Amino acid sequence: MTFHGIIPPIVTPINADGTVNFGDLTRLVEHLIAAGVHGIFALGSTGQVAYLSEENRVAVVRAICTTAAGRVPVIAGAMEVSAPGVIRTARAMIEAGADAIVTTAPLYTINDEAEIAEHFRMVAAGIDVPLFAYDIPVRAHKKLSPRLLVQLGKEGVIVGVKDSSGDDVGFRRLIAMNRAAGKPLALFTGHEVVVDAMAMIGADGAVPGLANVDAAAYVRLWNAAKAGDMKTAMEEQEYLNRLFEIVFVATGRSGDAAGVGAFKAAMGLKGLLSSASLTAPLKPLDAPTLEAIGKIVSELNALAA
134 as an active site residue: the answer is: yes
CB 193 within 8 A of CB 244: yes
HEC-encoded secondary structure of 87-137: HHHHHHHHHCCCCEEEEECCCCCCCCHHHHHHHHHHHHHCCCCCEEEEECH
Q: Given candidates 22, 26, 27, 50, which one binds its own copies under the rule CB under 8 A?
A: 50
Under the criterion CB under 8 A, does residue 254 sit at the interface with its own copies? Answer: yes
In what helix (H) or strand (E) does residue 42 lie, and over which residues does it extend?
strand 40-42
3 state SS of 244: helix
CB 287 within 8 A of CB 250: no
From CA 185, how far away is CA 179, in angstroms rounded?
Answer: 9
Q: How far is the CB of 191 from its own copies (least distance, A)?
A: 5
From CA 1, how far away is CA 160, in angstroms rounded?
Answer: 13
Under the criterion CB under 8 A, does residue 303 sit at the interface with its own copies? Answer: no
| Catalytic residue of the set 51, 142, 162, 218 | 162
3 state SS of 14: strand
Under the criterion CB under 8 A, does residue 173 sit at the interface with its own copies? Answer: yes
From CA 219, how far away is CA 7, in angstroms rounded?
Answer: 10
Residues of this chain, 141-160, that bind its own copies according to CB under 8 A: 141
DSSP 185-240: -EEEE--GGGHHHHHHHT--EE--GGGGT-HHHHHHHHHHHHTT-HHHHHHHHHHH
Under the criterion CB under 8 A, does residue 234 sit at the interface with its own copies? Answer: yes
In what helix (H) or strand (E) does residue 163 lie, and over which residues does it extend?
strand 160-163
Q: Given candidates 108, 271, 287, 302, which one binds its own copies under the rule CB under 8 A?
A: 108
Q: Given candidates 35, 59, 139, 275, which one binds its own copies under the rule CB under 8 A?
A: 139
Residues of this chain, 176-195, that bind its own copies according to CB under 8 A: 176, 191-194
162 as an active site residue: the answer is: yes
Q: Given candidates 24, 204, 214, 256, which one binds its own copies under the rule CB under 8 A?
A: 256
Distances (CA, A) of 164 to 14, 22, 40, 222, 300: 25, 28, 17, 18, 26
Under the criterion CB under 8 A, does residue 54 sit at the interface with its own copies? Answer: yes
Under the criterion CB under 8 A, does residue 81 sit at the interface with its own copies? Answer: yes
> How far is it between the farthest Cα atoms of the chain?
53
Tell me how many residues contact its own copies (CB under 8 A).
67
Q: Which residue number, 233 or 267, has a Cβ lying nearer to its own copies?
A: 233
Q: Which stretch binds its own copies (CB under 8 A): 51-59, 213-221, 261-269, 294-302?
A: 51-59
| Catalytic residue of the set 51, 134, 142, 264 | 134
Under the criterion CB under 8 A, does residue 255 sit at the interface with its own copies? Answer: yes
Under the criterion CB under 8 A, does residue 126 sit at the interface with its own copies? Answer: no
Under the criterion CB under 8 A, does residue 302 sit at the interface with its own copies? Answer: no
By annotation, the residues acting in catalysis are: 134, 162
Q: Which residues sit at the interface with its own copies, rule CB under 8 A?
A: 45, 49-54, 56, 79-85, 88, 104, 106-112, 114-119, 121-122, 138-141, 166-169, 172-173, 176, 191-194, 196-198, 200-201, 230, 234, 238, 241-242, 252-257, 280-283
